[in-house]
Amino acid sequence: MTAESLLPFYGYVGTAASAAIAAAVLASLHRSRQRPWLRSWSWSWLFLTFHSLLSAAAYIAARTGVGAQPRVALASLAAIAGFAQLVFLLSGAREAATGMLFPRARLAPVLAAASVVAILMALPGSSDPSAAFLRYTLRFGVRSLTAGVVFLVAALIVWRGLGAAPSLGRSLVTGSLAVTGVHYLHYLVVGVGGFASGTRSPLLTLLSSVDVLLAVVTVLGIVILLLEAERNAAVAAAAQLEHMAGHDALTGLPNRLMLLERTAQALRRASRDRRSVAVLSLDIDAFKLLNDSLGHGLGDELLRSVGTRLKGAVRETDTVARLSGDEFGLLLEVRDAEEAEVVVEKLRAAARRPFVLHGREIHVTMSGGLAISPRHAETPEALLAAADIASARAREDGRDTVRTFDSSMNEAARKTVALEGAIRKALVDGELRLCYQPLVSVATGRIEGFEALLRWESAELGNVPPSDFIHLAEANGLIVPIGRWALRSACAQAREWQKAGTPARVSVNLSAREFRQPDLYLTVRNTLSETGLPAQLLDLEITERVAMESPDVSQFVLRELRSLGVSISIDDFGTGYSSLAYLRSFPIDTLKIDGSFIQAMVGDPQSAAIVRSVIDLAHHLKLGTVAEGVETEEQAAVLRRASCDRIQGYLISRPLPAPEATRLLREDHRAARAAAGSVA
């Protein structure tokens, strides 16, 4: 064999070497990057290595006179490896374009079919020396034509799949694949043309060396493509983190941090343009009740819908943010306070329109506070704080209310903060105490029990009225530990009365927050057990409004408490919105008529009629009645004629400290025994 005749052999070996290096690099990249298409392409270039080596061996066999069968076997294996390379090339291109692994179960039949075709291609003319052109066309020509088309298709798949954004890596990969496809087609034309003319074109040797260059460019493009993808992923992750830092995860709205940043920018513009900036804090009225009744999934959807509704009601230059829970903050760039108030009314009207969630129509109202620069504050934090203070005042005033901040609210807020700290200190230092107001039977005039009432004697503030601190303790959650202390203290006092031979029932009020505690049943049960008080000597009072906030839940909780043996009273009856159907089904024992009706009934026939109706209703439902706030003999006489069961109020006694209540109870029992002895 001459040196010239060995040139094709060297071309095959050079192609095999470059393909082997490309396969190793791609396999290494797959292990470090875990991209499915890298594994497919590493197999593709590995099969190209096998194809080139087998083709070199077949070429040498043909030039050295090896028999037909070994040559057919080598040609078949080379063709199988060549087709396998193209199958893995296409599967890798699809994986690179879609990001999804090509099903390996579907590769097996494709490879099997390609193998059959490869073997059939190697058979014709294998034993006929005159059929050299047929053999060359089938083995070299079909392989080159198929490879050219497949590389061009792979380039098109990758180009389209990797998106329209220009990148060097994408251009190098798709370009090298496309050039490889054109190279194979040109290789086909030059090779077949030269064979047909009986001369070997010198371009064949040059074209064989191009395989090495194209493999290098392809691998280089893949490396650059991976680096660009990682850089883009890092940029996207940073952008996502930045977005998350400034936006609420549930609604996608800006959060408190972003609202403050935009408020700062708006304040700078307003100072330059002599305009105003308004900050509005809005809460959904009774959202907890809505959330409990709807379920948390629908509650979250309601929050998203409210955010969308508010955003649609303001201008694009304004900002709607979710601050926390059901609290939304709005930044409004306005000319003056009058324009801000117009926008606020527009927002409230938008919120009042019903929301339809999963076929359910839900009505909500919103309350909040408004602060405007520069009148109320000149910094973002101060503006938002002023809006929060005004929002707290709006919630105190009732639903569907918006209040504008004024300086008196700020002073009230400072007092509230100071009072909250004092309450916490009072709970720790033991400044809270209970007083007991007797409940007297109208029929016998005897004391049947006491209502435990909370009092606070502060070392710094003096006697603090319950109306000044109970609502604050309810709002900040301190009412729960205070209530548990009151329950235990009242039960311990009632147990002392029982052990002294003067048993009396004690009534303890449960606040709204206490009533919603999931461990209320266990708290009452454990308190009775620890103090040793019989359950029938404890009466638990809840207000009518608390009972009706969620009637089904209230009914369940009351039945649990009633199962302990305690009695249940509805306090402040007549001031809420009871449904008679629920009143009939509630496991209660007593209705306590609100003192406002008692005080008005002597001079107001309508109030007197209401009191008589409540008493009649209670008796028909087999419930006891207690009239609160009885202060005069005339009121007591009216209640006696109306057949009220018990009365309490200043006519009988003011709330007494435990020692005085104990002395009054002893006197009442002595009087009762004396009356019984005189009758006997």
Domain boundary among 209, 241, 273: 241
- CB of 364 closer than 8 Å to CB of 354: no
| Longest Cα–Cα distance in the chain | 148
- CB of 493 closer than 8 Å to CB of 471: no
250 inside domain: no
**Measuring CA to CA, which residue among 149, 166, 36 is closest to residue 103?**
36
Same domain, 84 and 218: yes
249 inside domain: no
Residue 398's Cα: distance from chain center in Å? 28
Q: Residue 580: what pLDDT?
A: 61
Same domain, 482 and 624: yes
Write the pLDDT tens digit of every residue in 355-396: 988 888 888 889 999 999 888 888 898 899 889 888 888 887
Q: Residues near 263 by Cβ (< 8 Å), separated by ≥ 6?
A: 277, 279, 331, 380, 383, 384
Stretch 626-633: mean pLDDT = 93
Write the pLDDT tens digit of every residue in 406-434: 877 766 666 667 777 788 888 888 889 99
410 inside domain: no
Please check the confidence at residue 247 and state whether its pLDDT lies above 50: yes
Q: Where are the alpha helices (DSSP H) in 34-167?
A: 36-63, 68-98, 104-122, 132-136, 142-161
Complete edge-to-edge strand list for the sheet that includes strand 402-404 = 319-324, 327-334, 276-284, 366-372, 402-404
| Distances from the Cα of 601 to the Cα of 239, 593, 605, angstroms | 69, 12, 6
Write the pLDDT tens digit of every residue in 557-602: 999 999 999 999 998 886 655 556 667 778 999 999 988 889 888 8
Please check the confidence at residue 650 and state whether its pLDDT lies above 50: yes
Same domain, 182 and 290: no
Same domain, 345 and 432: no
Q: What percent of the chain has pLDDT over 70?
A: 84
Same domain, 333 and 216: no
Q: Residue 206: what pLDDT?
A: 53
**Measuring CA to CA, which residue among 187, 207, 191, 189 is closest to residue 199?**
191
Grade residue 32 by pLDDT with cuts at 50, 70 and 90: confident
Interatomic CA distance for residues 36 and 498, integer angstroms: 81
Task: Give the side-chain half-sphere CA count within 13 A for 61.
Answer: 17
Domain boundary among 357, 383, 405: 405
Rounded to the nearest 5 percent, the helix, strand and coil shares of the chain are 65, 15, 20
Give the pair of three-digit tokens for residue 134.
Answer: 């047929």
Same domain, 425 and 550: yes
The helices-and-strands tally (H runs, E runs) of the chain is 25, 17
Q: Residue 47: what pLDDT?
A: 85
678 inside domain: no
Q: Residues near 139 by Cβ (< 8 Å), separated by ≥ 6?
A: 75, 78, 79, 121, 122
Q: Residue 488: what pLDDT?
A: 96
Same domain, 263 and 234: no
Q: Is 633 exposed, middle or buried (0-12, 13-18, 19+ CB in 10 A)?
A: exposed
Same domain, 271 and 386: yes
Interatomic CA distance for residues 362 and 302, integer angstroms: 9
Interatomic CA distance for residues 560 and 70, integer angstroms: 92
Q: Residue 452: what pLDDT?
A: 96
Domain range for residue 448?
A: 417-673
Give the pair of three-digit tokens for residue 160.
Answer: 């389209």
The residue that leads in pLDDT, 460 or 479, is 479
- CB of 227 closer than 8 Å to CB of 167: no
Give the pair of three-digit tokens for residue 233.
Answer: 């992923």
Grade residue 196 by pLDDT with cuts at 50, 70 and 90: very low
Residue 46's Cα: distance from chain center in Å? 49
Domain boundary among 340, 373, 405: 405
Interatomic CA distance for residues 258 and 391, integer angstroms: 20
Stretch 439-467: mean pLDDT = 90
Same domain, 313 and 262: yes
2 inside domain: no
Residue 297 corresponds to which amino acid?
G
If DSSP codes are grouped into helix, strand and coil, which group holds residue 198? coil
Whether omega before 380 lies within 30 degrees of 0, making that bond cis, reads no
Same domain, 260 and 305: yes
**Measuring CA to CA, which residue among 577, 483, 493 is closest to residue 532?**
493
Same domain, 293 and 233: no
Same domain, 92 and 202: yes
680 inside domain: no
**Measuring CA to CA, which residue among 324, 322, 320 is closest to residue 332?**
320
349 inside domain: yes
CATH number of the domain where residue 95 is located: 1.20.1070
What total number of domains does the chain contain? 3
646 inside domain: yes
8-22, 201-215, 263-277, 544-558, range with the lowest pLDDT: 201-215
- CB of 567 closer than 8 Å to CB of 592: no
